[in-house]
Every structure is written in C-alpha cells, then in structure tokens.
A and B are shown apart, each in its own frame.
Chain A
Amino acid sequence: MPEPEYSPREIMTVVAARKLHNGTVCFVGIGLPSAAANLARLTHAPDVVLIYESGTIGAKPAVLPLSIGDGELAETADAVVSVPEIFQYWLQGGRVDVGFLGAAQIDKFGDINTTVIGGTYAAPRVRLPGAGGAPEIATASKEVVIVLKHSRRAFVEKLDFVTSSGFPAQPHGGNRPGRRGRGPTTVISDLGILVSDPETRELVLTSLHPGVTVERVKEATGWPLKVASDLEVTPPPTPADLAALRDLHARTAAAHGLNPGAE
C-alpha cells in the first residue's frame, strides 16, 4: 500500500493531535492548536476535554471555530462560564493538563513572542496582537505544547519580546517563582518534534518528520540546534488521520464561507 501524501502543515497538525488523550484537559489556543485539538477529539481521543478562553468547557465543535468565541463552542460545550472564572478557577486553579499554544517567535527555551517584531516596544516595526491568555496558560498548565511552522524568522536566538515564558535562560536555572507547571515540554513544527531537556530546559530535536533531514531543520532554526542521540523518525499520518483532518477543514470552510485551509 503506497504511503499517503500529505502537506507539511497536515503532518504538523496530526502530530500535535497525538499529544492529547482521552481525559486530557486541554486549554486551546486558536488556529493550528485548535485544529490539532479537535482532530484528536475526532480520532483517537473522543473524551479529550477542550477549554477555550471564551469560557467554554468541554467544547465539541463540528467545525473549527474562526474565533475563540464562536457560537459553535458555546452550543457544544458541557458548560459556559465567564472569562474571569475560566482564568481563575479552571486555569489558575491548576485544572488544565495541557496548554496548546501558537506563537510568532520562539527561542530555545520555549519562551514565545506574540507582541512586537523589530523596532522597540514603543515603536515596533510590526505590532502583533499581544498576549491574550498566553502568559498564564504557559505557566499554569501542567505542560505546554507549542505548534509552530519552522523558519529562521520564527525560531530565533533572541526574542524581540518575551510575551510568555518557558524557562529561565540559564542552565540548571530551576523553576521561576510562580510557575506551577512543567512549562513548554514539546514544540511541534512542520519539520519535526523538539522536546525540552529536563536538565538544561533547552529544546532538543528528538524526531524528524519523514523525508526531513537534520540539516534542513538546523537551517530553519536560528540557534545552534541540539539533536538527540536517539533521533527518531515521526510515524507518518495514517489515511484515517488525513481523512478526518481534511473532512474537518472542508466542513469548516463550508460553514464559514471561507477558502479551504484558512484558519
């Protein structure tokens, strides 16, 4: 049987979905994280609990939400609570297993930037949307998974701004005061999987997606990337994974009246 064909974006989403399991409580960021979280729910993890910062707990959307507060989330949720409650009782209260985030920039410790690119904070070259829920999701979730397309512009030696923190920049730095979770343990890109070293906290390439070389990942990474000695090859998406993902995107595009692939 021939290997199914898939895009870099599709394998990134499928691999991210594999991080979620039945019973996992996941605080979902919009965009790629939301696609991955819902793919998990529609395939191997029907009982994953998806929480969106709009206050929807246990959302089961049939189509991907365009925004974090779509009516589809409220209509399919187990409970809809206020925004203060979602951040205080459910996130700060320590009830979230996995925070699923995207970013504009990431550094080797999993710190992320969604605030400004270039210039200064007061006079940036590019103003990004800002923090949203990320600073507290990044530190209060028991574990953080970041989904981000690989490029030198995104995987940088030094962030233009630390919006949400991973770990201290010094080796063996330990946890910062106030942190409750393990921080960003895993970064899933379109080229491979990076996992935080438990000692140094530095992200290490542990798996290459099929057909990707170490050189290519290093070229797309803005710091000297460490590579695990037991580097693996990511199992490719199954035909069932791809069918479910494409079906979800097609349903979403039809529901929102948008082009397929838009997120």
Chain B
Amino acid sequence: MPAFLTLREAVTRFVHDGDTIALEGFTHLIPFAAGHEVIRQRRRHLTLVRMTPDLLYDQMIGMGCASRLIFSWGGNPGVGSLHRFRDAIENGWPEPLAIEEHSHADMAARYQAGASGLPFAVFRGYVGSDLPKHNPKIQSITCPFTGETLAATPALNPDVTIIHAQRADRKGNVLVSGIIGVQKEAALAAKRAIVTVEEIVDDLRAPVNACILPAWALDCICEVPGGAHPSYTHGCYKRDNAFCVAWDAISRDRETFLAWMNRNVMAAADFAEYRRKIAAEAEGITGA
C-alpha cells in the first residue's frame, strides 16, 4: 500500500541529494509539479534520467539541481532548443553537466531491462553511429545462436521514478491512459516510485487491458490536479502550446530565467499557487 502524501512530503521523504531520478513522460503526462517541488526543496547533484528532457529538465538544470543527465533527445518539441540545457553543456552554467547519451530504442530497452531484473538490455542498434565512441555504456554482444552482433547497454534502475497519471483509487492502484510512453517500465525499474495523479477516485472503472500500476508496486501517491501542465493529461486538459513557445524567450537569458523561476516557482508554496501566478502573469496582472 503506497503512502498518500502531499508532494512536499513525498519529495522530502523520497528524493535525496545525489539520487538518480527519472521524471518520465513522452510529451504527455510530464510530472511538472513534482519537478518543481524538487527544485523548491533545492535538491542538488542529481543524476536526471529521461528519454526526452524538455522544459521541466531545462528548469531543473538551470536551477542547479543536476550534475548529470542521461537522455536520448533534448529539446522544446515543435519550438526549438532548450537554452538552459545547452548553456549547461556548452558553457557549464550554472554548473558543469555531464551527459550520458543514448537513442530512444536504447533508453526504452534499458528501462525494460531494469523493470525485468536483468543486468542489461539487448537490441539491434547504433549501426554506424558515433554515439558508442563517446558513451562507454554502449557495448556490443554476440548472439550465441546466430552470431549476430547486437548492442548491449546496462539496465536502468533509478533511485526514484516519478510519473503523472490520470487517477488512482483509494488503495493506490493507478490508471495511466493515452500515450503511455515508458512510464510503466520506469516506475517498475525504480527503487522508489512516486505517482502524482489528477484525482483520487473510488473506482478506476478501467477497461480490462488498461495500463494499471498496482498499488503494491508503488511507494507514494500524491493528488496534484493539473500536475502535468504545460504538458497535458489525456482526457483532462490539453497541452499548453503557448507556454511552450513562451518558454523560449523566458529561458534564453540567464537572468530572465532565474527571475522567472524565483518569482513563479520558488516563491510559490505549491503547484496550485504557481499555476495562479503564471495565469496572472499571462493576463498581464502584476503584483498578483
């Protein structure tokens, strides 16, 4: 039975300096509220893991939470570069960011190996690519049956995985629907798994083959309505594309970025207050 906690309590209890943490989501269901709480509690020296680091990891990197990033594609989807991610890699600001870079197929297979209790992932990958030259974790293995050379990379087992989902029931069983990405694998691969949900309900009313994470496989549930914004939650609210576009200008300059984060994230008690602040800013109301 997972603990039902506030996000503040969950991060205090489960996320520690120096941890390897995965906040997964594939454009959909990105756990922004949880990431903000990690920033607010000033966690440091984290190894951040995610297939598609986007605005949330840009914020965490720019606020100095991370010293290492394990990833396969880093960008602001449909908009362009992640300026804080680039500044960290290109200029070491606010601190140097070590990177461990893979492909999507690889990251997905690594999480799967982690969830399966296997030491490594095997797949047909990286043919002719320079990536293995720069990442010693990308190795090859010979198939004992056919002799084919295949890629092999170590299993991913984060200390903590945090994902966002539509709903949990009162026992803590979680329903994830829509684009489910790699969240199930990431949660099952982790030593500790936290799920933020839009709502807690009496009955999930899930179809028989729905993607369900059973209560006993999770450590903590936090009810955080809107917790994926500006990402989206299928069936609840749409992606805030205007915010993703606006992020380009907010994040381009270090001082503008820091001022925005301090004003909206650090000065907010929780995600609900942050949402009120940015809504007020969007309407041009100052001093809200």
**Which stretch from B180-188, B199-207, B252-260, B278-286 is at the chain A interface?**
B180-188
- Residues of A within 8 Å of B73, CB to CB, are 129-132
B65 to chain A, nearest CB (A): 19
With contacts A66-B241, A84-B109, A178-B148 taken as known, whether A135 is within 8 angstroms of B75 at the C-beta atoms is: no
Contact A80 B72 (CB under 8 A): no
Contact B104 A71 (CB under 8 A): no
Contact B105 A135 (CB under 8 A): yes
Contact A69 B28 (CB under 8 A): yes
Over the window 96-137 of chain B, the binary record of Cβ atoms lying under 8 Å from chain A Cβ atoms (1 yes, 0 no) is: 000001111100110110000000000111111111001000
Complex CA–CA separation, A135 to B51 (angstroms): 14
Contact A134 B103 (CB under 8 A): yes
With contacts A131-B102, A136-B124 taken as known, whether A80 is within 8 angstroms of B179 at the C-beta atoms is: yes
User: Does A24 touch B at the CB level, under 8 Å?
Assistant: no
B131 to chain A, nearest CB (A): 6
Contact A88 B109 (CB under 8 A): yes
With contacts A82-B184, A135-B126, A136-B124 taken as known, whether A74 is within 8 angstroms of B178 at the C-beta atoms is: yes
Over the window 117-137 of chain A, the binary record of Cβ atoms lying under 8 Å from chain B Cβ atoms (1 yes, 0 no) is: 000011111110111111110
Contact A136 B128 (CB under 8 A): no
Over the window 20-58 of chain B, the binary record of Cβ atoms lying under 8 Å from chain A Cβ atoms (1 yes, 0 no) is: 000000111000000000000000000000011000000
Complex CA–CA separation, A201 to B271 (angstroms): 54
Contact B181 A55 (CB under 8 A): yes
**Which of B77, B90, B180 has a CB less than 8 Å from the CB of A67?**
B77
User: Does B238 touch A at the CB level, under 8 Å?
Assistant: yes
- Residues of A within 8 Å of B103, CB to CB, are 131-136
With contacts A92-B105, A136-B125 taken as known, whether A257 is within 8 angstroms of B179 at the C-beta atoms is: no
Contact A127 B90 (CB under 8 A): yes
- Residues of B within 8 Å of A178, CB to CB, are 124-125, 127, 148-150
A48 to chain B, nearest CB (A): 21
Contact B104 A163 (CB under 8 A): no
Contact B128 A165 (CB under 8 A): yes
Majority DSSP secondary structure for residues of A touching B: loop
Complex CA–CA separation, A3 to B227 (angstroms): 52
B76 to chain A, nearest CB (A): 9
User: Does A78 touch B at the CB level, under 8 Å?
Assistant: no
Complex CA–CA separation, A187 to B69 (angstroms): 33
Contact A69 B150 (CB under 8 A): no
User: Does B85 touch A at the CB level, under 8 Å?
Assistant: yes
Contact B185 A84 (CB under 8 A): yes
Which partner residue on chain A sits nearest B110 by CB separation? Answer: A84
Complex CA–CA separation, A35 to B179 (angstroms): 21
Which partner residue on chain B sits nearest A131 by CB separation? Answer: B103
Complex CA–CA separation, A164 to B73 (angstroms): 13
Which partner residue on chain B sits nearest A139 by CB separation? Answer: B127
Over the window 155-177 of chain A, the binary record of Cβ atoms lying under 8 Å from chain B Cβ atoms (1 yes, 0 no) is: 00000011111111000000011
Interface residues of B (CB under 8 A from A): 26-28, 51-52, 71-75, 77-79, 81, 85-86, 89-90, 101-105, 108-109, 111-112, 123-131, 134, 148-150, 178-182, 184-185, 211, 232, 234, 238-239, 241-242, 244-245
